[in-house]
Amino acid sequence: MARYLRLLAVCTLVCMLFAGCMTAALTGDNDGTSVARTLTGTINASESAKRAPRQQATEQRYSVIVQSAETKKNYMGETDSSGGFQVNIPESETGDVFMVSIMMPNGQPAGPVLFSQNSSQGSTGLEITGNTSLGAIPFPDDPTAAPIIPGSDADYDDSKVSDTLIARLNNDGVPVGVPDFGRGDDAKGTASEDEGQQIDADQDGLPDDFDADDDGDGTIDDFDDDAQLNPAENDGLNIHFFMNLKIDDVQATAYFSGDAAGIANSLKTDTVITFEVQGQASLGKTITGARIIGPPSPAPAYLVTTTVSTAAPATLWSASSYALQPDGTNHFQQWVVPNDFMNTGDTFTVEITFDDGTVGVYSRMINYVFKSIPKLINVGPPGTLATFNDPAVITFDGTQDLVFEWAPPVDDFGMLLVGLPYQFEIFYYDSADQQIDDIDGSATWPSPPTNFDANSQNYSVSGTTLSTVSATGAFSVQLPKELFVNSVQKTDGTTVNVAIYKVDIAAQNNGNNAALMLRLKKN
């Protein structure tokens, strides 16, 4: 499942969370620990490196994340105007092996620092026992095509390169996971059981914090039962950043057309990003505010162009400093339209303030995004399906079950997103084309069909069931005819006849969803 970063309780709480990864706390100067060692250096980057692949703010910063292979805790520093950085490491971590990773100004991970290398593998581990300088790091114009290495003036003092953290390298000398955030074929590999390798078990060169497939088995962590669990929940917080792409039957023609340019333009404004922060009962304090941290700190460039989806006329989110809005006790959220393309590797950071004066900072790397919606191919009763090629209302025989056959959505890697659970969300409309609310599920469906939630009117199909497409590249689900009742009973006891059914075919996972919304009526 999607994974999030642990909270670390400190005097001033400052941590960072990366989804799609094993999580660990990020600590700064004010964490209440005794700082014994520092890791310093300068990132020397050309203008093209700073701005690739997207234009950023005038002042552009990199983040340097240093993770202990022993405790799995993260320590972070940010570059100043001259590219210099300093990361403080507490006394308790002296002598531990660390992995050093760099976050680009555009909010995407650039990869680890390689401390030594040969033709096929390199060391990403540094045993830090004294104040250590990485010197002037010659940051490559394209970190997917050339490795990140320490500067020629690096000074390790008493520290030394470790042989307990190893990365597999490609022909360019770059860790195999870097070009595709751990998702490419080259990044696949058997996870090591070596204790010293556990922050990068698949040896693709990406710490789990920035690895969309942390065990290298070829399955995105969000869909992988073997992926690490969500430790943030144990600390009293739920943090969700996810993409919504819900398209009605008329809008869907743009996605079904095959026109790549038309689909791209639609994605810019049809995509909605949801940011949500919620405290559990175990949190023990009250959230007083939450905001996403924007440029010049590392963040997706389109953050500055996002508009609040619920505002009319459209309002730039930056006008409120990217604030999340309160929605009940210990619950903050915001829906925004990026007006640009969201991609795998995009990382957002949220700052949360609490009533006890502490502050939490968490980030999440996006492991996949939808670049299309479920594409309906055929619909009808079993054995007599008809081709779907018109956004008009679908007529069907209510005396028989109803079969939907559709192609699953693809992501920005062009991969079919299989293994996603689906919700068939059913809405009921009266003869005036008004949605019927307050339906009494138990009265309307005294014996509901299997997999149907009568209270929410959702029919669920597991990702395990939909893990393999047919020879034609499609999925098929048969909805019981009992879902399409002629009338529903409301909670006030009244009965209302149903004229139109709206069915959303929604691929969903941890909040991310892509859905096709259809309208149907009986013959």
Cα dihedral value 208, 214, 220, 225, nearest 10:
-110
For residue range 462-485, what is the model confidence (pLDDT) as tens digits? 998 998 999 989 999 999 999 999
Q: Report how far apart, in Å, the C-alpha atoms of 28 and of each of 32, 65, 361, 461 are.
A: 9, 11, 11, 44
For residue range 92-141, what is the model confidence (pLDDT) as tens digits? 998 999 999 999 999 999 999 999 999 899 999 999 999 999 999 999 99
- Taking a C-beta distance cutoff of 8 angstroms, is the pair 138, 45 a contact? no
- Read out DSSP for 24-60? --EE-TTSSSPEEEEEEEEEE--HHHHH-SS---SS-
Q: What is the residue-averaged pLDDT of the chain?
A: 87
Q: Give the mean pLDDT of 234-258.
A: 86
Contacts of 363 by beta carbon, 8 Å cutoff, 6+ apart: 5, 16, 17, 18, 347, 348, 349, 350
For residue range 307-333, what is the model confidence (pLDDT) as tens digits? 999 877 889 999 999 999 999 999 999
pLDDT of 496: 98
Closest CA to 400 of 519, 522, 274, 222: 522
Query: Any idea what the Cα angle at residue 454 is, between residues 449 and 459, rounded to 5°?
Result: 60
Q: Give the mean pLDDT of 268-297.
A: 93
| N-terminal to C-terminal alpha carbon distance within the chain | 42
DSSP state of 454: T
Closest CA to 27 of 359, 406, 405: 359
In the numeric block, which tokens belong to residue 127?
Answer: 């045993």
Percentage of the chain beyond pLDDT 90 is 70
Q: In the block, which residue shows the tokens 């002629």?
A: 486
CA atoms within 13 A on the CB side of 90: 18
SS3 429: strand
* 59 has a pLDDT exceeding 80: no
Contacts of 459 by beta carbon, 8 Å cutoff, 6+ apart: 423, 424, 426, 449, 451, 452, 453, 479, 483
